[in-house]
Chains A and B, each alone.
Chain A
Amino acid sequence: MKKVWKKSALAALTLGLAATVLAACGDKEEAGNAEEFKGKITIWDGPRWPDADDNKFHWLEEKIKEYEEANDGIEVDLVQVPWAEMGDKLGVAIAGKAWPDIAPVDISGSAVSIDHIEQGVIEALDPYFDKDAKKDFYENALDAYTYDGKLYGIPNSITLHTMLLNLDLFEEAGVEPPKDGKWTYDEFLSAAEKLTFDRDGDGKTDVHGFSTYILPGYYEAWPFFYKNGGSPLNEDLTEFTFDSPEVVKAIQDLADLKLKHKVAPETHGGNDVGGTFQAWANEEQRTVAMQPWATWAIGAAQGKYPTNFMVAEYPSGDKDASTIGGVGGWVMMHQDDVNKKAAVADFMKFISTAEEQYNMAQHYGIFPARVSASEMDPFKDNPEMTRAMEMSDQVVMLPRHPEWRKIDEAIQNELQLVFNGEKTAEQAMADAKKAVDKILE
């Protein structure tokens, strides 16, 4: 992962530099003294990988114990929150002024948005991260946590979306999987057609080539919409651009997998996330040959749902293949006591070292956000994760707009109607434009 992401690294670097200089001048007195703080730090986390007793919080629990032993008088309280609820719960907690000190979210708007930063809910970490400390992180990982020149979190992982192909079904249908996981949309379509078959001859399709779902906050389907170029909003976030002809065509193509080509099940484009995953991964089902998922699913298919599968890129259209990525990490919520703030930052650093990121990458199906952690080569025995990591230079990020949550919902609601065949992609995106323009005003 030498060259991370296409987005202008130089710009980010410059910004980062500027931020550091500013931080060095202004924030010295705000840094506080961690050693003077005695008390409780609250951290939220979701289940990660299990230990022998199936405890999915063991990693952080062990780190906490270690930290408490080394730092007298500090107690770290772990609150276990399921990932599916994390965004909603944190949003609610913020609104109720009952936030934790540390939360495992990004600032892209699903749980914490720029609006929160502007309201002062998220603490800037610049006083605790000088230029040297930042150097080990990939620029774009830092960029994902930078707003208005300040750093609002520590990135600890990078994820992206990939296509997962069930190789048993490929073999059963006599289809050759794409070489190196690269393919064009036409190749993808013809594979999907062959992978749709009636196994027992009862006149009903038993296996479908492809399926995914459409739901606010989920972007598995979205890289398909980018295949001919285009993005939801224009560069300066003032205009809705998903109604451009190339995007409309891409959307219609994906919906037509079900509507026209019949290579996707009726539930394609529905809102049942769990059901969709079960259809691909559950050995009692396995009724769909190809699905796009975030990288956590690679871990699941290697662990809890052992599947003979491979990782492939999203098919390319008029433009090269691309995928949607995200950066995970820790943010610090508003603090009244500077010394506590320093202590919290210290603990955040403690759980974000290169060793910890390497550890997490190996077990948890994510890529490290630190260069030095990647250099330890966490995936040397894991070709699927390696292939996924190679895709990281295709990553495009979602627009970072304070109202992204609402924009997203407006778009996805319309997308659902396209996949139901109730609207054409063109109509739906025209309607989405109306709704989104109102929000952008």
Chain B
Amino acid sequence: MKAGYASRTPASLLGGGNMTQMPMGAVPKKKDEKLKVIGKAKGNPRKLFYEMKRNYSAYLFLLPKLILFTLFVAIPVVWAFVLSFQKYKIFGSEFVGFENYIKVFESDAFRIALKNTLLFTVVTVPFGVISALVLSTLIFELGKLSQSLFRSAFYLPTVTSMVIIAMVWRWMYNYDFGLFNYVLGWFGVGPVNWLGQSNTALWALIIMQCLIPFGVGIIMYLASMGSISQSLYEAARMDGASRFKQWIHITIPLLKPTTLYLVLLSTIGSFQVFTQIIMMTGGGPGSATETLVHLIYKTGFRDFEFGLAGAQSVVLFVIILIFSVIQFRVLRHDE
């Protein structure tokens, strides 16, 4: 998880990815029995009412969450879609049909932001997941104490606010006294105006993302590795498989569900990249580091085109959905 995404997104809690869990976890264990009860009740209004009355305390327990959920999640979700078909005016909005969506697809700004976000995602997600896999494999070879030591070391940056991380990195990329240009100086290269040039700014943000360890990934890979049965390795060793071969043929395939989960999680996170942008580049120079969420923020809260911002976010949602489905399919299928 990369800390600092929109906090109130449910997605940000564990990086947003519990989708993989849903098909498994969400289905009640004793499914048939429950369906029967409700099924029966459904057929008979009086019985349904009786069931509801008998269980009134359950509704009371749910009530606080339901009220909050309705006000601050459910209504806004529906509203977001309605809004995307409106032109927002302070005293009374008007419906404009698909105009906002047409604007989204016609605008260069959105296209550039999408391109930047995709590049960011395509580089940082595989890098993050693979490096987490390699690091946790290495950590797993060590003793208990060193394991927890390194686990903490790699997770610590994850609990730090992205605001802070962005502030330091901005400084590390500083042209005059930044660490990066200093190190480059050893090799007689540079100095480079990392965040100030169109051709390096986005890459500077990508490098930064890659160098923030994917703490969640490491912890989850370690946990999953711990649950792989040792007898599998034992058998492979009997057959004379090398350690590397064992890793390729046993560890990686068995970690696949974890990998899928992590890829989904970090893809969603990566599509929502925002904090670094507003803290470090403001989307510039030009629009070299404009990303989708920063664009939505700007459209909504600097230009106050709420309708257009609504349409942009609906499109973002659809893009994330498509990506998730594709990843789910690809990573699931070749089992």
Question: Complex formed: what's the CA distance from A59 to B289 in Å?
Answer: 42
B90 touching A119 by the CB < 8 A rule? yes
Residue contact A119 to B91, C-beta cutoff 8 Å:
yes
Q: Does B282 contact A (CB under 8 A)?
A: yes
- Verify B284–A413 contact, CB threshold 8 A: yes
Chain A residues within 8 Å of chain B by Cβ, number: 26
Interface residues in B85-144 (C-beta closer than 8 Å to A): 88-91
Asked whether B303 is an interface residue with its Cβ less than 8 Å from the other chain, the reply is yes
Q: Say whether, besides A94-B90, A95-B306, A406-B303, A266 and B196 are in contact (CB < 8 Å).
A: yes
> Beta-carbon contacts of B280-311 to A below 8 Å, as 1s and 0s?
01101111000000000000011110100000
Chain A min CB distance to B109 (Å): 9
| Least CB separation from B199: chain A residue | A422
A258-310 residues at the B interface, CB under 8 angstroms: 265-267, 270-271, 275, 287
In-complex Cβ contact of B191 among A94, A266, A413, A420 (8 A): A266
Q: How many residues of B contact A (CB 8 A)?
A: 25
How many Å lie between the Cα of A121 and that of B193 in the bound state?
43
Query: B-facing mask of A120-132, CB < 8 A → 1, else 0?
Result: 1100000000000
Q: Could you tell me if A95 and B193 are in contact, using CB atoms closer than 8 angstroms?
A: no
Q: Does A81 contact B (CB under 8 A)?
A: no
Cβ < 8 Å to B, chain A residues 104-130: 116, 119-121
The answer to the question of A414 belonging to the interface, with a C-beta cut-off of 8 Å to chain B, is yes
Given contacts A95-B304, A266-B175, contact A420 B90 (CB under 8 A): no
Q: Which residue in B174, B191, B302 is a CB contact (below 8 Å) of A88?
A: B302
CB distance from A429 to the nearest CB of B (A): 13
Whole-angstrom CA separation of A95 from B83 in the bound complex: 14
A97 within 8 A of B: yes
Let me know if A416 is at the binding interface, CB within 8 A: yes
Query: Given the interface contacts A119-B90, A267-B193, does A95 sit within 8 Å of B301 by beta carbon?
Result: yes
B224 close to A (CB within 8 Å)? no
Is the CB–CB distance between B197 and A91 below 8 Å? no
**Contact call B286/A416, Cβ cutoff below 8 A:** yes
- Known A-B contacts A91-B301, A420-B197; A265 and B176 likewise in contact (beta carbons under 8 Å): yes
Chain A CB within 8 A of B18 CB = no
| B147 lies within 8 A of chain A by Cβ | no
- Report the nearest B residue to A116, measured CB to CB: B90
A119 engages B193 (CB within 8 Å) = no
Interface presence of A351 (CB below 8 A): no
Beta-carbon nearest neighbor of A434 in chain B = B108
User: Residues 400-441 of chain A: 1 if any B CB is under 8 Å from the residue's CB, otherwise 0?
Assistant: 000001100000011011001010000000000000000000
Q: Are A416 and B90 in contact (CB under 8 A)?
A: no
Report if A91-B304 is in contact (Cβ < 8 Å); known contacts: A266-B196, A413-B287, A420-B193: yes
Say if the beta carbon of B198 comes within 8 Å of chain A.
yes
**Does A271 contact B306, Cβ atoms closer than 8 Å?**
no
What B residues does A88 contact at CB under 8 A? 301-302
B282 closest partner in A (C-beta): A271
Given contacts A266-B175, A420-B197, A420-B198, whether A95 and B285 have CB atoms under 8 Å apart is no
Whether the Cβ atoms of B282 and A95 lie closer than 8 Å is no
Interface residues of A (CB under 8 A from B): 88, 91-92, 94-95, 97, 116, 119-121, 215, 265-267, 270-271, 275, 287, 405-406, 413-414, 416-417, 420, 422
21 A-B pairs (CB sep. < 8 Å): A91-B301, A91-B302, A91-B304, A92-B301, A94-B90, A94-B304, A95-B88, A119-B89, A265-B175, A265-B176, A266-B196, A270-B285, A287-B176, A413-B286, A414-B286, A417-B198, A417-B285, A417-B286, A420-B198, A420-B285, A422-B285
Closest 7 CB pairs of A and B: A416-B285, A270-B196, A95-B304, A266-B175, A413-B286, A417-B286, A266-B193
